[in-house]
Amino acid sequence: MTAQTTQAPPELDLSKLDNTGFLRINWPGPPPAERTLIVLGVARSGTTMVSGALHHLGIDMGMGGKPNTVYEDVALSEAVEGKDTNRLKSLIAQKNAERKVWGWKRPSAYEHIERVKRQFRNPEFLVIFRDVFAIANRNRISVRSDLLANMAHTVEQYRQLMAIISKSNERMALISYEKAMLNPGRFVGQLAAYAGVSDQKHIRAARRFVRETPADYLMTSRTWGGYGFLDRAEASFVSGWAMMRGTTEPVSIDVWINDQHAGTVLANQFRKDLAQKAHPTGECGFRLVLPDDRRLKEGDVVRVRIKGEVKDVNNSPRTYVGKA
């Protein structure tokens, strides 16, 4: 009787069970050298995060080297949504001539993609998904929408998006926003591999971008809130203008000198330069006269903020340089 040799069973490769939140589909082989990466998703779902990461990876997202806070090619989006086919073809031809690989992002792109996708050269879709409550809550904060109604609306938007991608033959990647945020390094590595980027400098820049809180985006995504400008910081006074979106009611202004509260003033003075152009009545100017014991000295740092806001007005802080 011959003894049988038994082999130990192979160890289980647990990596195959790991849900990374990034999945390629419709990938029969290596991608073409020339391709267009189109970011799809509903509003507030993370399309800006994906587009910004691609930008930092060195992919031209159509901003002419001057990134905006939403990493979006406005001209291309306007041509798509305005159904300006000639303009769209011209813009795409220009981008194709400049880059082998480039991208475009627009939260509402899924509403138009079936109509325009044939205009793009080898289009591929990067589709971002996010928790429905998180999307609706961001809309509640940014545009003050009704939470539950917006959750229902988001579910309907995702239904439309799924109907489009389920019958699409284009290469694509499905991305979980939550998984990307839990492990930004892994997400950027997956995105870089998808886009064909190996430059470590670009990969590090993209990782920093994904990890950082996009304060500018959070501020500009609001349809409410205040804004203004610190015009002057003189020895005896501080002046400028400020207003709140959606109302002509004057706002209160807090002024700090060297991080010490120096006073509060109402922004209700008439500014002819702002009347009609920036404010319906022009009554949005402010001027805080400083008492003798609080007069500015060279090197003093002045900060101005609308009461209740989390960010200074433009041109604040400002350092007083004194008189020449």
Across 53-57, 144-148, 233-237, 318-322, least confident range? 144-148
Taking alpha carbons only, the member of 188, 183, 158 closest to residue 58 is 188
Q: Is a pLDDT exceeding 50 seen at residue 35? A: yes
Distances (CA, A) of 5 to 1, 2, 9, 10, 11: 13, 9, 13, 15, 18
Pick among 2.60.40, 2.40.160, 2.40.50, 2.60.120: CATH of 226-319: 2.60.40
Taking alpha carbons only, the member of 127, 125, 146 closest to residue 137 is 146
**Of residues 310 and 210, more confidently modeled:** 210
What is the C-alpha separation between 91 and 89, in angstroms, rounded? Answer: 6
Entry pTM: 0.65
pLDDT tens digits for range 103-121: 999 888 888 999 999 999 9
Across 10-19, 110-119, 291-300, least confident range? 10-19
Q: Is a pLDDT exceeding 80 seen at residue 31? A: yes
Taking alpha carbons only, the member of 178, 72, 163, 192 closest to residue 128 is 178
What is the C-alpha separation between 190 and 135, in angstroms, rounded? Answer: 24
Beta strand spans in the chain (E): 22-25, 35-40, 101-105, 123-129, 172-176, 226-233, 237-244, 252-257, 260-266, 269-270, 283-289, 301-306, 318-319
Q: Which two tokens stand for residue 189?
A: 């590595």
Average pLDDT over every residue of 64-85: 83
pLDDT tens digits for range 133-168: 988 887 776 666 788 988 999 999 999 999 999 999
Pick among 3.30.1360, 3.30.420, 1.10.287, 3.40.50: CATH of 18-220: 3.40.50
Give the position of tokens 């995105």. 191
What mean pLDDT, rounded, does the chain reach?
87
Taking alpha carbons only, the member of 267, 266, 259, 251 closest to residue 303 is 259
Asked if 227 contacts 314 with a C-beta cutoff of 8 angstroms, the reply is yes
What is the pLDDT confidence band of residue 219, given thresholds at 50, 70 and 90? very low
Question: Domain boundaries in the chain?
Answer: 18-220, 226-319
> Torsion angle, CA of 31/78/112/46, rounded to 10 degrees?
70
Strand partners, 264: 254
- 18-220 and 226-319 agree in CATH topology: no
Say what the pLDDT of residue 64 is: 61
